[in-house]
């Protein structure tokens, strides 16, 4: 497993297909997601002088056979070179990645196979045992991957796990974090087919639209959230954010952006500066971001609106104070209401992200949440079934109490009840999941608002497509 010369190394980063065959409602509104994390890692490795490519299976290798063919093409093209092949593993794609790793091992018996991402970070033992993966990179991976491709002895690399000669799993010391993320190069957007990607239906206003993220870590502790990059919130400077936006605008004509940072508005000053920079540059873009209801205020929202922000998604989860408390959300129904009102007043479309089947949920808490949502009438809602991702407090609690109903990872998509609750059966969770979507999107006033607010034919077509897909999914579901 040793690499001798960085020029000889070819690093191939693989993003698996998010399996559309499995029950997952979000698939119905999702289009094509860019592997942003791989673009970040690729840029870092390339900066260190190593040639790198990204294979996005969703676009170029939708099944195992075509994946094998693609690998053979790389092998042919880069004969005699040492391959480092890396897989992005999130929980629902874990099994698929294990299959991809097996195929890779057959085609490249001598390659170094590595894996990273949220699932690999929290269940590295399983990954090393179930797949022919040589090294798992834990958490932030730029520095560890650099050392792997630059041939450092494996035992001296921190932030990884691997199997030693005795087949024992060794976890090395934690890796130091990159504290100034402005030193990260711009993600290798040139390695992605930018215009083939498209954010979820309803999240973009016009095309081409692209997703971006500029921050790492979150100081909050919501119990269901997988925090691969820890608690320290770091965000690139507004100037760096603008640089990336401008790059995509000028080189690929991207006019609409979805900032998928967990909480884009955490650093208020940064957001205001970014809005000012957009104005100074006179770039006419529209954008959308995710945030928390306690990280906005009326003035900030007005400034964002003037700078092209057309939609905000708030992680709200529930309107029940007991549930909000149990999931450690650290917000109140009053704060949620205030955020919805000031967002609407600012002329920004408001999307609430909700969950059913969280710890503490009962029929009463879910009825209350639905009632409040229908009263406040945000423009959109997203509803998922609370899913206990490995490494989260929700998973640890449910596992400790023997409440996990299945550890079949490809069910961990947010559309299957996986935790046995005191106050609700799985059937009731499923019924509420359906009820939330159907009651909201079949509400005459919501439909009227959606139609009258849409500004172009394409948006109407897309919303209709999303509506039909979601309803088809829910109707077919038992």
Binding site for ligand SF4 (CB under 6 A): 218, 220-222, 225, 262-263, 292, 315
Choose among ligand B12, ligand SF4, none what residue 315 binds, the Cβ cut-off being 5 to 8 Å by kind.
Answer: ligand SF4
Stretch touching ligand B12 by CB under 6 A, among 225-233, 263-271, 280-288, 346-354: 225-233
Q: Largest Cα–Cα distance of the chain, in whole Å?
A: 66
**Of 87 and 467, which CB lies nearer to ligand B12 in the complex structure?**
87
Stretch touching ligand B12 by CB under 6 A, among 60-68, 152-160, 382-390, 440-448: 382-390
Q: Decide if residue 57 touches ligand B12 (CB under 6 A).
A: no
Q: How far is the CB of 225 from ligand SF4 (least distance, A)?
A: 3
Using alpha carbons only, give the angle 49, 51, 56 rounded to the nearest 5 degrees.
135
Structure tokens at 294: 């306690």
Q: How far is the CB of 223 from ligand SF4 (least distance, A)?
A: 9
Separation of alpha carbons 37 and 16, rounded Å: 13
Q: Decide if residue 223 touches ligand B12 (CB under 6 A).
A: no
**Of 97 and 368, which CB lies nearer to ligand B12 in the complex structure?**
97
159 DSSP 8-state letter = S
Q: Decide if residue 414 touches ligand B12 (CB under 6 A).
A: yes
Residue 405's Cβ-count burial label (10 Å; 0-12, 13-18, 19+) is middle
Q: How far is the CB of 308 from ligand SF4 (least distance, A)?
A: 23
Separation of alpha carbons 172 and 278, rounded Å: 44
Q: How far is the CB of 326 from ligand SF4 (least distance, A)?
A: 14
Separation of alpha carbons 328 and 325, rounded Å: 5
Choose among ligand SF4, ligand B12, none what residue 263 binds, the Cβ cut-off being 5 to 8 Å by kind.
Answer: ligand SF4
Choose among ligand B12, ligand SF4, none what residue 13 binds, the Cβ cut-off being 5 to 8 Å by kind.
Answer: ligand B12
359-369: burial string, b at 16+ Cβ within 10 Å, e else: bbbbeebbebb
Q: How far is the CB of 144 from ligand SF4 (least distance, A)?
A: 23
Q: How many residues in the shown chain lie near ligand B12 by CB under 6 A?
A: 42
Q: How far is the CB of 118 from ligand B12 (least distance, A)?
A: 4
Q: Decide if residue 187 touches ligand B12 (CB under 6 A).
A: no
Q: How far is the CB of 220 from ligand SF4 (least distance, A)?
A: 4
Q: Decide if residue 37 touches ligand B12 (CB under 6 A).
A: yes
Separation of alpha carbons 29 and 457, rounded Å: 18
**Of 91 and 220, which CB lies nearer to ligand SF4 in the complex structure?**
220
Residue 66 parent element (H or E): helix 64-77
Based on DSSP, count helices (H) and strands (E) in the chain, helices before strands.
18, 15
For ligand B12, the binding residues in 346-375 under the rule CB under 6 A are none
Q: Which residues contact 324 (CB under 8 A, 6 or more apart)?
A: 317, 318, 330, 331, 332, 333
Q: What is the DSSP string of 219-261?
A: S---TT---TT-S--EE--HHHHHHHHHHHHHHH---EEEE--
* Distance, first Cα to last Cα, the chain: 49
Q: How far is the CB of 361 from ligand SF4 (least distance, A)?
A: 17
**Of 172 and 221, which CB lies nearer to ligand SF4 in the complex structure?**
221
Q: What is the DSSP string of 21-47?
A: TS--THHHH--B---HHHHHHHHHHHH
Distances (CA, A) of 177 to 41, 98, 217, 218, 231: 14, 28, 11, 14, 12
Q: Decide if residue 216 touches ligand B12 (CB under 6 A).
A: yes
Radius of gyration of the chain, Cα coordinates, nearest whole angstrom: 22
Q: Decide if residue 40 touches ligand B12 (CB under 6 A).
A: yes
Q: Decide if residue 154 touches ligand B12 (CB under 6 A).
A: no
Compute how many other C-beta atoms are within 10 angstroms of the C-beta atom of residue 446: 19
Task: Find the binder of ligand B12 among 9, 41, 131, 248 (CB under 6 A).
Answer: 41
Q: How far is the CB of 457 from ligand B12 (least distance, A)?
A: 25
Stretch touching ligand B12 by CB under 6 A, among 96-104, 108-116, 334-342, 440-448: 108-116
Structure tokens at 344: 């609407």
For ligand B12, the binding residues in 109-138 under the rule CB under 6 A are 114-119, 137
Asked if residue 245 lies in contact with residue 257, where contact means CB atoms within 8 angstroms, the answer is yes
Phi, psi (rounded to 5 degrees) for 210: -145, 150
**Of 116 and 378, which CB lies nearer to ligand B12 in the complex structure?**
116
Q: Site mask, ligand B12, residues 67-96, x = CB under 6 A?
A: -------------------xxx-xxxx---
Residue 273's Cβ-count burial label (10 Å; 0-12, 13-18, 19+) is middle
For ligand B12, the binding residues in 419-448 under the rule CB under 6 A are none
Task: Find the binder of ligand B12 among 140, 147, 294, 317 (CB under 6 A).
Answer: 140
Q: Site mask, ligand B12, residues 302-341, x = CB under 6 A?
A: ----------------------------------------
- Write out the residues near ligand B12 by the rule CB under 6 A: 13, 18, 24, 26, 30, 33, 35-37, 40-41, 86-88, 90-93, 114-119, 137, 140-142, 145, 213, 216, 225-226, 228-229, 260, 262, 384, 389-390, 413-414
């Amino acid at each position: 497993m040793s690499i001798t010369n960085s020029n000889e190394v070819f690093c191939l980063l693989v993003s698996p297909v998010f399996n559309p065959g499995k029950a997952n409602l979000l698939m119905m509104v999702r289009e094509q997601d860019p592997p942003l994390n791989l673009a970040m890692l690729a840029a870092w490795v390339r900066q260190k002088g190593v040639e790198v490519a990204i294979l996005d299976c969703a676009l170029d290798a939708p099944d195992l056979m075509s994946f094998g063919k693609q690998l053979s093409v790389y092998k042919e093209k880069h004969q005699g070179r040492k391959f480092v092949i890396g897989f992005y593993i999130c929980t629902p794609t874990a099994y698929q990645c294990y299959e991809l790793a097996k195929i890779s091992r057959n085609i490249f018996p001598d390659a170094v196979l590595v894996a990273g991402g949220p699932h690999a970070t929290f269940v590295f033992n399983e990954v090393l045992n179930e797949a022919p993966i040589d090294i798992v990179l834990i958490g932030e991976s730029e520095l560890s991957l650099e050392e792997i491709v630059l041939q450092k002895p494996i035992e001296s690399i921190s932030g990884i796990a691997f199997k030693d000669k005795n087949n024992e799993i060794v976890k090395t010391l934690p890796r130091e974090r990159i504290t100034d993320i402005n030193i990260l190069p711009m993600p290798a957007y040139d390695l992605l087919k930018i215009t083939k990607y498209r954010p979820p239906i309803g999240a973009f206003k016009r095309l081409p639209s692209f997703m971006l993220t500029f921050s790492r870590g979150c100081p909050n502790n919501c119990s269901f959230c997988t925090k691969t990059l820890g608690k320290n919130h770091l965000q690139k400077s507004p100037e760096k954010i603008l640089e990336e936006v401008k790059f995509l605008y000028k080189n690929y004509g991207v006019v609409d952006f979805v900032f998928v940072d967990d909480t884009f508005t955490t650093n208020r000053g940064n957001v205001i500066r970014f809005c000012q920079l957009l104005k100074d540059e006179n770039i006419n873009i529209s954008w959308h971001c995710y945030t928390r209801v306690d990280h906005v205020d009326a003035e900030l929202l007005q400034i964002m609106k003037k700078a092209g922000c057309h939609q905000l998604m708030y992680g709200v989860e529930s309107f029940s104070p007991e549930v909000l408390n149990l999931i450690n959300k650290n917000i109140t129904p009053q704060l949620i209401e205030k955020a919805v009102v000031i967002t609407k007043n600012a002329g920004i479309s408001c999307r609430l992200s909700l969950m059913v089947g969280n710890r503490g949920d009962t029929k009463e808490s879910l009825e209350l949440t639905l009632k409040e949502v229908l009263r406040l009438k945000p423009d959109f809602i997203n509803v998922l079934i609370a899913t206990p991702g490995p490494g989260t407090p929700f998973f640890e609690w449910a596992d400790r109490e023997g409440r996990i109903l299945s550890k079949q990872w490809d069910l961990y998509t947010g559309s299957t009840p996986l935790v046995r609750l005191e106050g609700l059966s799985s059937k009731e969770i499923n019924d509420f999941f359906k009820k939330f979507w159907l009651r909201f999107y079949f509400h005459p006033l919501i439909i009227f608002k959606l139609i009258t607010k849409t500004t172009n034919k394409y948006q109407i077509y897309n919303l209709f497509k999303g509506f039909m897909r979601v309803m088809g999914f829910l109707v077919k579901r038992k």
